[in-house]
Structure 1
Amino acid sequence: MDITSFLIYCMIATFTPGPTNIVILSTAHNLGAEKAMKYTYGSTIGFGLLLIISAMLNTILMAFIPKIIIVMQIIGSCYMLYLSYLIYKMDASNPAVNQTGTFLSGFLMQFLNPKVVLFTLTVIPTFIMPNYSSSTAMTISIIVITVIGFLAFLTWVLFGAIFKTFIQKHNKTVNVLMALSLAYAAIMIWM
């Protein structure tokens, strides 16, 4: 497995602005870091659960249709390129609406967030399953990805509390760098 591409994909997909991250940013900025952390804990648990569900579904599919990995790599790469385009075009000047910042709202957001759902459905068959088949490797991978997601959410809490004005000022540069990194990760799947 190309660890660099895997880490870039995980970092870009979890750290870039998306519905969950924007809500965390808004909650931290408007309601404080403590309230945003409750939302973050719920988001992390929901994210981890989606990864577990994805691993189980993909394992079942791989057992019945071994060639599906090629299809999932194509879908995963195309999705990553699509995300890089969206990140490039993104305008963060319109922040998310005020949320209650509860554990439950953070948890449920993960199941309604297309970015998270598609990420969890593509990361395991694209990066993990072609290289590892043991349940131990799958478990460790899910834990690593969940920790990366938590660190991303935590970063957005800090951003909301400290750097919101600075990020908005340099939004386009940040988006271009993130989009290029994600496109690189998508291309590296085939190298």
Structure 2
Amino acid sequence: MTPTLLSAFWTYTLITALTPGPNNILALSAATSHGFRQSTRVLAGMSLGFLIVMLMCAGISFSLAAMDPAIIHWLSWAGAAYILWLALKIATSPAANDGLRSEPISFWASFGLQFVNVKIILYGITALSTFVLPYTQEAHWLIGVSILLAIIGTFGNACWALAGHLFQRLFRRYGRQLNIILALLLVYCAVRIFY
């Protein structure tokens, strides 16, 4: 990879990992409501699911040209449904200041949610088909970059969870309002999938 291509790769992946999306909002919400330590199960499930999805994206992007474009359409609908479900869960969850501290979602729930997260699927397919496949189709490069993409995504989730932890007192004071704002942002994300 040339320095220009590497620069473009890092810019794309870091901006995508750090901009709001379902995982980042879930990480922020979990850390705000339950603290960083209690949220590690959520983050770990997201990270493992993210890694597996990135490896799957390597296979998908490798054969994307032969795929039926309708698959992407159905994937978009599944992702929008996931985002709306997540918005509903956040909007209806008790705010931290309500005194009803439930447990954060489980490792397996956050793991499973990765398989319908359109943002990370498109992130993986775009990065691999733009920055890797035009230059090499060797399996070790596809796998290596897939692992790197998962690490970058995990970094983005951890940043949002850390923000939730650091601003926990403020977020707890305005928990109901924060949940509504986060839910509305997720609804916006779901709508933007189609427009």
**What TM-score comes out, normalization by structure 1 length?**
0.64
Q: Is 1:56–2:59 an aligned residue pair? A: yes
Matched, 1:24 2:16: no
2:159 matched to which residue of 1?
A: 155
Gaps of 5+ in 1: 66-94, 169-191
Matched with 2:137 is 133
Q: Measure the CA separation in 2 of the matches of 1:57 and 1:128.
A: 13
Q: Which residue in the other structure is 1:121 paired with?
A: 125
Q: Which string of whole-angstrom CA distances, capped at 9 and with x for unpartnered residues, describes residues 33-92 of structure 1?
A: 122211111111111111111111222346x69xxxxxxxxxxxxxxxxxxxxxxxxxxx
Aligned counterpart, 1:82: none
Q: Which has more radius of gyration? A: 2
Q: Tell me if structure 2 keeps the 8 A contact 1:24–1:156.
A: yes
Q: What whole-Å deviation, never above 9, does each CA across 1:147-175 have from its counterpart, x for those lacking one? A: 11111111111111004659x9xxxxxxx
1:57, 1:26 → 2: CA distance? 31
Confirm or deny that 1:44 pairs with 2:47.
yes
RMSD across aligned C-alpha pairs, in angstroms? 2.7
Question: 1:53 & 1:147 partners in 2: Cα distance?
Answer: 15
Task: Give the structure 1 partner of residue 80 of structure 2.
Answer: none
Distance between the aligned counterparts of 1:147 and 1:96, measured in 2?
26
Where do 5+ consecutive residues of structure 2 fail to align? 68-88, 94-102, 172-177, 179-195
Aligned 8 A contact 1:35 1:101 in 2: no
> Which range is displaced more, 1-10 or 156-165?
156-165
Write the letter of the residue equivalent to 1:34.
Answer: R
Identify which of 5, 8, 12 aligns with 2:11. Answer: 8
Give the letter aligned to residue 116 of structure 1.
I
CA distance in 1, matches of 2:140, 2:12: 22
How far did 1:120 drift?
2.0
Q: Residue 107 of structure 2 is aligned with which of 75, 93, 103?
A: 103
Deviation at 1:32, TM superposition (A): 1.3
**Kept after mapping to 1: 8 A contact 2:47/2:111:** yes
* Contact map agreement 1:58 1:125 (CA 8 A) in 2: yes
Between the two proteins, the alignment pairs up a number of residues equal to 139
Deviation per residue, 1:117-161 (Å, 9 max, x gap): 221222211111112221111121111111111111111111110
Report the TM-score, using the length of structure 2 for normalisation.
Answer: 0.63
